[in-house]
């Protein structure tokens, strides 16, 4: 399976539903909190985004919680 990274914050309400969805589908992911981790913030910026949630699946980057794209990329 492709590596999944979710860039998030603890305070933005749209991040938790994205994490819950991935978990409900049995998708393991690495969470990077851009408020607490300056390296994660730099990594997110390098992807061309400063919005959360941003989900990186393999080489694909999804800005926002787009369940259809997530399903398509992961074959769910």
The answer regarding whether domain 4-74 maps to CATH 3.40.30.10 reads: yes
User: Among candidates 55, 51, 50, 56, which has minimal Cα distance to 18?
Assistant: 55
Any idea where the domains of the chain sit in the sequence? 4-74
Pairing of strands 30-33, 4-8: parallel
Q: Are the beta carbons of 51 and 34 closer than 8 angstroms?
A: no
Cα separation, 60 vs 47, whole angstroms: 10
Within a 10 A sphere around the Cβ of 27, how many other Cβ atoms? 18
β-sheet bridge partners, residue 54: 7, 63
pTM exceeding the 0.85 threshold for the entire prediction: yes
pLDDT tens for each residue of the chain, 76 residues long: 789 999 999 999 999 999 999 999 999 999 999 999 999 999 999 999 989 999 999 999 999 999 999 999 999 8
């Amino acid at each position: 399976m492709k590596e999944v990274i979710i860039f998030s914050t603890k305070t933005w309400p749209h991040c938790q539903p994205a994490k819950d969805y991935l978990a409900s589908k049995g998708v393991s992911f690495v969470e990077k909190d851009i408020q607490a981790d300056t390296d994660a913030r730099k990594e997110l910026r390098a992807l061309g985004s400063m919005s959360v949630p941003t989900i990186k699946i393999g080489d694909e980057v999804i800005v926002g919680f787009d369940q259809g794209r997530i399903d398509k990329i992961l074959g769910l």
